Amino acid sequence: MKHFKLHRKSVEVEPILYEIRAHTTGWTEQTGRQSRIHVQAETNSIPLRGLRHSKIMGRRRRDVHETRPTSLAEHFPRTMALIEGLAEEVGGELGRAKLARLPSGARVLPHVDRGEYYAFRDRYHLVVDSSGGSVLRAGDEEVSMRPAELWWFDNKAIHSARNESPHPRTHLVFDLKPKVSGDAEDPFGASESDPCRMLETARASTPNGATEAVAVAVELYLAIRRNPVRWDEVLRERNCVERAQRQPIGVLAELLWPELEERRRRRRVSAIGWALAQLDLGRLTSHQITEALRDAGGIRAVHSAWQRSKDQLLYGTS
């Protein structure tokens, strides 16, 4: 199979079940995942390792690499020790981790885990509790995972899950960044481009049209991903760090096109988000953005579709 690999047939999961039973309120203490992420609305979760908020620095949450144990992790010491042991066994650096519960009849809608954080990490599922098997689909493949099995699966492909059993199913989900040799190039190197210089160059240039301007903005955003510390300096100089954490593309658009009518700038913001999503999904390269925007009907058409439903536009789901 291309999108799934059974890593271990049997992992001792009783310590995890014991800690879940001892702290059942954990399912309702932090509900951001299901309330904020549309495709996860039917799931419950207990975050054990999450992103470091202090490292967002204007980036999207899915582009933040740094992680740390959550406040709930202290209630799950044996689970945390198990994750750390599995990370050492697999040979990777532990990233985000959570317990995820899918109630009877519930679904995880089709989606792709996009962004720089996921691009450099592998996703693992340990089936903690599942009376009827856990059905996951990725690409054109589908598997039924059994209790105590540890699976790798390709979360960069369009994937979904469902629970057809009469009981909830619980997985321990965690990400590992494969370890590389000391001579290997750091994929998070921040010296390739200076976003401040690129910003000034882009503001001084006169693109042939709106689609070309959006393509330039996407290139700048990619440079920001590579050099978030330098971009944070730019934001601090302009006193917009906090707002950039909430609306990174919106702030970028304001800095690029301060004289542009707000309505037209909002359209470009949608087009930038759409283009970045296409890049993350592997459907486009940066050199194809201008032509792709034109093929999609232009900035106005992309903006309208993006505002109606991002999920529908990207994955064919509402």
Q: What is the pLDDT at residue 191?
A: 40
Phi, psi torsion values for 131, nearest 5 degrees? -70, -30
Long-range contacts of 140-144 (CB under 8 A, 24+ apart): 141/1, 141/2, 141/3, 141/4, 143/1, 143/4
Give the domains, in start order, of the chain with CATH numbers: 4-178 (2.60.120.330), 195-315 (no CATH)
Answer for the pair 298, 289: CB distance below 8 angstroms, yes or no: no
pLDDT, tens only, 80-130: 999 999 999 888 899 999 999 999 999 999 999 988 888 889 999 999 999
Q: What is the pLDDT at residue 115?
A: 82
Q: Work out the average pLDDT over 58-72.
A: 86
Average pLDDT, the chain: 87
Q: What is the pLDDT at residue 193?
A: 61
Give the DSSP H/E element, type plus range, for residue 116.
helix 116-119
Q: What is the pLDDT at residue 180?
A: 56
Q: For 112-116, 144-148, 169-173, which range has the lowest pLDDT when averaged over its residues?
A: 112-116
Q: What is the pLDDT at residue 55?
A: 78
pLDDT, tens only, 294-314: 999 999 999 999 888 777 666
- Residue percentage of the chain with pLDDT more than 90: 52
Phi, psi torsion values for 7, nearest 5 degrees? -85, -45
pLDDT classification of 184: cutoffs 50, 70, 90:
very low
The torsion of the CA quartet 116, 282, 113, 300, rounded to 10 degrees, works out to 100
Query: What are the residues whose beta carbons fall under 8 Å from the beta carbon of 252, sequence distance 6 or more?
Result: 217, 220, 221, 224, 244, 272
pLDDT, tens only, 188-222: 343 446 777 788 877 777 666 899 999 989 988 88
Q: What is the pLDDT at residue 196?
A: 78
- The pTM score is 0.69
| Antiparallel, parallel or unpaired: β 67-69 and 44-51 | antiparallel
pLDDT classification of 57: cutoffs 50, 70, 90:
confident
